[in-house]
C-alpha cells in the first residue's frame, strides 16, 4: 500500500511511451507516484497514459520532442502549475547510430547529438530552476555502457553517451549545493525498442542488435528497479550488467594497449557471430 508521502511524489520521463522509459514509468506508477511521460509518438503516448492510469491516480502524457527546448519548457510549466513541481526528471529519450567513421554522414552525427546529448542538456537546463526553487530534485540521465567502453563502429553513439556521462559528473558537483541529485545509468544491451529508430551503415545490424539484446539476463523492469533504488539512495552510477561492470574495471585498471587488444578481440567475435 502506498503511503501519503509516496502519493505526493512526482516524476517526468522523456521517451516514456515505450521501451525502458515506459518500464520506469510503470514501476513508479505501481508505487503510487504521479507519473508524466513525454514522447514524440502521440498514439503510443496516449496508450501509455491509459495504462499508467490503471496504476496511479495521476498519469499524464505530453507530446514532447527533446530537440525542442520549448516542448520541455511547456511540460515544466504545466507540471509546476498542476503538481507544484516535480521530484525526479528522467532524461531517457535516445536513438542509436552504428557505422564506421568514414561511412557515417555528418547529418547522422548531428541527428544523434541533437537527441542523445542536447536532449539531456535541454532537460537539465529547463528543470534545474524548478529544482532550485523547491530546494530539491533529482535528475536521472540515461547513458549507456557505450559511454564508458569504446566499442568499434559506434563512434557517434559512443560519443553522445560518453558526453552524457561527463555532463552528469559535472552536474553532480555543480548542483549538489542546491540539494539536486544526479544518477547516470549505463546499461549494456537489453531488450528494448532502441533498434526501431537505429540508423546504420553496417549490413544486417538490426539482426546483430536483436541477437545481443536477446542474450541479456536483465529486463527493462529489472533495470527500472535498480534505477529507482539508486534514486532513493542518491547513488550516482548505475551499471546494471555484471559483464559491463567487469569490462569497465578492466578499462580503468589495464594499460591502454592491453585493454585495446581485449576490445579488438571481442569485436572480432561479434563480427564473426553475424
Model pLDDT, residue 3: 43
Q: How far apart are CA 177 and CA 211, in angstroms?
A: 44
Q: How far apart are CA 53 and CA 35, in angstroms?
A: 9
Model pLDDT, residue 270: 57
DSSP lists the bridge partners of residue 15 as none
Taking only Cα atoms into account, the Rg of the chain, rounded to an integer number of angstroms, comes to 18
Model pLDDT, residue 204: 55
Which residues lie closer than 8 Å to 238 by C-beta, 6 or more apart? 183, 184, 185, 186, 187, 223, 226, 227, 230
Q: What is the pLDDT along the chain (274 residues), one digit of tens a residue?
A: 344 444 479 999 999 999 999 999 999 999 999 999 999 999 999 999 999 999 999 999 999 999 999 999 999 999 999 999 999 999 999 998 888 999 999 999 999 999 999 999 999 999 999 999 999 999 999 999 989 988 888 899 999 999 999 999 999 999 999 999 999 999 985 445 554 566 666 555 555 445 444 555 788 899 999 999 999 999 999 999 888 888 888 888 889 998 888 878 776 765 555 4
Select from 198, 194, 260 the least CA-distant residue to 18: 194
Model pLDDT, residue 152: 83
- What count of other Cβ atoms lies within 10 Å of the Cβ of residue 40? 19
Residues assigned a catalytic role: 157
Amino acid at each position: 500500500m502506498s503511503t501519503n508521502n509516496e502519493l505526493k511524489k512526482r516524476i517526468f520521463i522523456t521517451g516514456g511511451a515505450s521501451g525502458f522509459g515506459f518500464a520506469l514509468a510503470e514501476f513508479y506508477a505501481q508505487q503510487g507516484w504521479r507519473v508524466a511521460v513525454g514522447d514524440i509518438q502521440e498514439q503510443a503516448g496516449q496508450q501509455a497514459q491509459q495504462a499508467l492510469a490503471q496504476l496511479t491516480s495521476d498519469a499524464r502524457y505530453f507530446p514532447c520532442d527533446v530537440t525542442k527546448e520549448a516542448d520541455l519548457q511547456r511540460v515544466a510549466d504545466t507540471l509546476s502549475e498542476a503538481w507544484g513541481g516535480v521530484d525526479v526528471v528522467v532524461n531517457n529519450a535516445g536513438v542509436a547510430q552504428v557505422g564506421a567513421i568514414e561511412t557515417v554522414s555528418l547529418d547522422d552525427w548531428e541527428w544523434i547529438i541533437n537527441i542523445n546529448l542536447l536532449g539531456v542538456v535541454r532537460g537539465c537546463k529547463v528543470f534545474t530552476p524548478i529544482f532550485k526553487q523547491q530546494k530539491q530534485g533529482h535528475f536521472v540521465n540515461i547513458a549507456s555502457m557505450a559511454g564508458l567502453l569504446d566499442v568499434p563502429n559506434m563512434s557517434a553513439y559512443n560519443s553522445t553517451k560518453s558526453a552524457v556521462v561527463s555532463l552528469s559528473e559535472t552536474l553532480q558537483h555543480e548542483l549538489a549545493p542546491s540539494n539536486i541529485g544526479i544518477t547516470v545509468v549505463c546499461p549494456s544491451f537489453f531488450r528494448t525498442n532502441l533498434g526501431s529508430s537505429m540508423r546504420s551503415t553496417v549490413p544486417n545490424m538490426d539482426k546483430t542488435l536483436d541477437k545481443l539484446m536477446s542474450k541479456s539476463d536483465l529486463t527493462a523492469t529489472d533495470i527500472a528497479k535498480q534505477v529507482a533504488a539508486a534514486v532513493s539512495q542518491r547513488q550516482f552510477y548505475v551499471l546494471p550488467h555484471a559483464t559491463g561492470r567487469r569490462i569497465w574495471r578492466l578499462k580503468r585498471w589495464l594499460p591502454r594497449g592491453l585493454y585495446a587488444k581485449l576490445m579488438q578481440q571481442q569485436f572480432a567475435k561479434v563480427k564473426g557471430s553475424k
